[in-house]
C-alpha cells in the first residue's frame, strides 16, 4: 500500500458510515473501509467507502448486488457521498 493510500484510508476512517447517514439520517461511526468492486486488476484504496460494522457485515452476508438493491445504491452514489464528506471535512 502506498503512503498516499494509507493517508486516504486514515481519512476514510474518520468519516461516518455513508449508508447510515444518507439512507437513515444516523451519524454512526464507520469502523471499516469497504473497497468497491474492481472491474480490472486490484482494488484501489482510493475507491473505498466508510461503513459501520453492521452495514459492512450485511453487505457481505447478502452479497453486494442484493445489498445495493435493498438500499437503492450504486458505486458512483457512494463515492459521491464520500467526496462530499471529505470536502466538508477540509
User: What is the DSSP code (8-state) at residue 37?
Assistant: P
Residue 88, Cβ density class (10 Å: 0-12 exposed, 13-18 middle, ≥19 buried): exposed
Instruction: Report helix angle 64-71 to 53-62, nearest 10.
Output: 120
pLDDT(13) > 70: yes
Half-sphere exposure of 21 (CA within 13 A, CB side): 17
What is the predicted pLDDT for the residue at 52? 96
CB contact at 8 A, 49 and 81? yes
What cell was used for 84?
462530499
pLDDT in tens, 21-56: 999 999 999 999 998 876 566 778 889 999 999 999
pLDDT in tens, 49-87: 999 999 999 999 998 889 999 989 998 999 999 999 999
Amino acid at each position: 500500500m502506498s503512503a498516499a493510500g494509507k493517508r486516504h484510508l486514515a481519512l476514510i476512517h474518520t468519516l461516518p458510515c455513508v449508508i447510515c447517514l444518507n439512507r437513515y439520517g444516523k451519524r454512526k461511526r464507520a469502523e471499516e473501509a469497504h473497497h468497491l468492486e474492481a472491474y480490472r486488476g486490484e482494488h484501489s484504496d482510493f475507491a473505498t467507502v466508510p461503513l459501520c460494522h453492521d452495514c459492512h457485515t450485511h453487505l457481505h452476508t447478502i452479497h453486494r448486488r442484493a445489498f445495493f438493491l435493498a438500499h437503492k445504491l450504486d458505486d458512483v452514489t457512494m463515492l459521491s457521498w464520500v467526496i462530499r464528506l471529505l470536502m466538508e471535512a477540509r
